[in-house]
Amino acid sequence: FFSEEEQEEDGDLEDEVDASRLEKFMRDRRRAQSLPALLSCGAGASGERKRVKFADSMGLNLASVKHFSALEEPQIPTKVLSRHRSLPLPSQHQEALLCQNFRSTVNLDTHRLVTCFPEPRDTELRVQQLRVCLEKVSITPFDVRGQIRVLCDRGAVREVGVRYTFNEWLSHVDAQALRVSADDVRGLRGERFSFTVYTPPFMDRSCAVHFAVYLKSEQGEFWDNNQGLNYTLRHRSVHGNARDKYYAF
């Protein structure tokens, strides 16, 4: 039998051997999924007692394991909730000041998106030739709105919309247009659709907006892309008061 002191000394030696092996292993391999068998248990050939050790992905001793489920709702600590409730609500004066600062920031920015193409004309002729054409566009500091004329049977129309990009066609988005009420298109040839494209806030002035309008019907797909040039909007310096100002055809 071994005394308690001898057993403690043997345990210390084993820990020192394991530590040296672990240090060598960490130098040879940056990350490990688990400890190799050489470090997980004793050699066994000399009759030493085998010991199993669990390790994390870095080879360190594993303290505990926690399994999370996507179905579980996150538990917010009580301290966090108490701090959130203790925050004072903004007063009406502070809210008004924030709104005023935002409006002043928008008004001071005298650069606006403007059209780089001539005003669409001869809508009746163009819609007969193309089946779809841009009829009208208006620009505000926050969005671009337009109207599309379509010449197609009502039952044959599958989708009318606008395809636009903010990054020179590295990517694009299709926005579906909505049919205008029949009361607003009496006496017109074809149907009228309206669309809205929301421009990013504080958009880089070097960026441009390119777009084209399309019609998808039972007869096929038709486009109006400004004769292959696309409809383009760019930032230009606008003098004068920008408040309640918009640009439209």
Residues in contact with 98: Cβ distance below 8 Å, sequence separation at least 6, in sequence order: 90
The 3-state secondary structure of 98-152, one letter per residue: HHHHHHHHHHHCCEEEEECCCCCCCHHHHHHHHCEEEEEEEECCCEEEEEEEECC
pLDDT at 100: 66
**pLDDT greater at residue 173 or residue 107:** 173
Whether residue 200 contacts residue 82, with contact meaning beta carbons closer than 8 Å, is answered with: no
Q: Count CA atoms closer than 13 A to 155's CA, side-chain side.
A: 0
Between CA 243 and CA 182 the distance in angstroms is: 33
Report which of 152, 146, 175 is spatially closest to residue 222, judged by C-alpha positions. 152
pLDDT tens digits for range 98-148 = 776 666 555 545 678 899 999 888 998 999 999 999 999 999 888 999 999
Report which of 165, 175, 241 is spatially closest to residue 208, judged by C-alpha positions. 165
Between CA 90 and CA 237 the distance in angstroms is: 36
The end-to-end CA distance of the chain, in Å, is 102
pLDDT tens digits for range 76-104 = 777 777 776 666 666 777 777 777 666 65
pLDDT at 156: 87
CB atoms within 10 A of CB 82: 9
pTM beyond 0.75, yes or no: no
CB burial class (10 A; 0-12, 13-18, 19+) of residue 111?
A: middle
Q: What is the mean pLDDT of the chain?
A: 76
Question: Dihedrals φ, ψ of 244, to 5°?
Answer: 55, 30
Residues in contact with 117: Cβ distance below 8 Å, sequence separation at least 6, in sequence order: 226, 229, 231, 232
Report which of 167, 170, 168, 188 is spatially closest to residue 179, judged by C-alpha positions. 188
Report which of 232, 226, 136 is spatially closest to residue 188, judged by C-alpha positions. 136
CB burial class (10 A; 0-12, 13-18, 19+) of residue 145?
A: middle
pLDDT tens digits for range 2-37 = 455 554 555 555 556 566 666 666 665 544 455 454
Given a cut of 60, is residue 44 above it in pLDDT? no
pLDDT at 26: 63
Q: Which of 49-58, 118-127, 212-221 bottoms out in mean pLDDT, i.e. has the lowest? A: 49-58
Given a cut of 70, is residue 195 above it in pLDDT? yes
Report which of 195, 211, 198, 209 is spatially closest to residue 149, judged by C-alpha positions. 195
Given a cut of 90, is residue 202 above it in pLDDT? no
